[in-house]
Amino acid sequence: MTGTASQIEWAEQIKPRVNAEFDRVAKAFTAVAGKQEEAVRTDTQAVIAILEEKRSEVMARDQAGYFIRDWQELNDQVRRMIGQDARYQAIQARKAQRLQRSGD
């Protein structure tokens, strides 16, 4: 990890909390997927795959400042990362189309 010794120490304390936040969100999606019909479950599983990709990207970062700046306070960073992903947006658009068709 790059940064000053104190930054690295601080970031090493933050990283497990970040990973735990990804775990928490993944568990929530997994619980939802377990209650869904197959067609909808496929979309939820795709979201979980996006989540795991984002986790890998975040945890691979080696700049201590990144974790201090962006992850010191856990809010809705994971949700926002997923929401900004083009694949997630496509899933949401398909979902809206299905709902619109079922309402017609």
Query: What pLDDT is attached to residue 60?
Result: 98
Cα–Cα distance for residue pair 41/8, rounded to 1 Å: 40
Structural domain containing residue 21: 5-103
Number of independent structural domains in the chain:
1
Query: What pLDDT is attached to residue 103?
Result: 74
Q: Which DSSP letter does residue 72 get? A: S
pLDDT in tens, the chain (104 residues): 999 999 999 999 999 999 999 999 999 999 999 999 998 899 999 999 999 999 999 999 999 999 999 999 999 999 999 999 999 999 999 989 988 888 76
94 alpha-carbon distance from chain centroid: 20
Query: What pLDDT is attached to residue 98?
Result: 85
Cα–Cα distance for residue pair 79/51, rounded to 1 Å: 9
Query: What pLDDT is attached to residue 79?
Result: 96
Query: What pLDDT is attached to residue 39?
Result: 81
Beta-bridged to residue 63, according to DSSP, are: 2
Cα–Cα distance for residue pair 87/80, rounded to 1 Å: 13
